[in-house]
């Protein structure tokens, strides 16, 4: 079990959007896919691009630097399953969003 951090509210991020959030020593990419929230490590495994600033479409984020794609629900690339980023559990309580990060 990791540690739970409050990272905002559901009003902070519209459906179809993502953003970068710094939590403790982690950089998280938070995404809203039709009202469900997902969190990935923000750092693209290719060259370190900010996934939270990428284009989000149908649950797939495209890295803004060179176009690698990741399924935001799993962190795995739909094209190359060996390319993946860590995904973190997200909880919504009322309007508050929490992410669970490793200790
Ligand atoms: S840094 Fe993300 S695709 Fe290159």
Q: What is the pLDDT of residues 53-66, one digit of tens each?
A: 999 999 999 999 99
| Strands 55-57 vs 3-9: parallel, antiparallel or unpaired | unpaired
Report the CATH number that the domain containing residue 95 is assigned in CATH. 2.102.10.10
pLDDT above 70 as % of the chain: 100
pLDDT above 90 as % of the chain: 94
Bridge partners of 88, per DSSP, are 39
pLDDT exceeds 90 at position 25: no
Cα–Cα separations (whole angstroms), residue 14 to 49, 52, 82, 100: 22, 13, 30, 21
Q: Does 10 or 25 have the greater pLDDT score?
A: 10
- Relative to the CA of 64, which ligand 1 atom is closest? 2
Query: Could you tell me the residue range of the domain that residue 63 belongs to?
Result: 3-101
- Give yes or no for residue 47 CB within 6 A of ligand 1: yes
Best probe residue, ligand 1, of 41, 42, 43, 44 (max atoms within 8 Å of C-beta): 44
CA of 44 to the centre of ligand 1 (A): 6
- Relative to the CA of 51, which ligand 1 atom is closest? 2
Q: Report the number of distinct structural domains present in the chain.
A: 1
Would you state the pLDDT for residue 24?
87
- Relative to the CA of 66, which ligand 1 atom is closest? 3
């Amino acid at each position: 079990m990791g540690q739970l951090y409050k990272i905002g509210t559901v009003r902070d991020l519209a459906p179809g959007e993502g953003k970068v959030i710094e939590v403790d020593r982690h950089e998280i990419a938070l995404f809203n896919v039709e009202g469900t929230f997902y969190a990935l490590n923000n750092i693209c495994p290719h060259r370190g691009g900010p996934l939270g600033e990428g284009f989000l479409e149908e649950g797939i984020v495209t890295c803004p630097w060179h176009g690698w794609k990741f399924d935001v629900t799993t962190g795995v690339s739909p094209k190359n399953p060996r390319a993946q980023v860590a995904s973190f559990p997200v909880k919504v309580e009322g309007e508050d969003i929490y992410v669970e990060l490793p200790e």
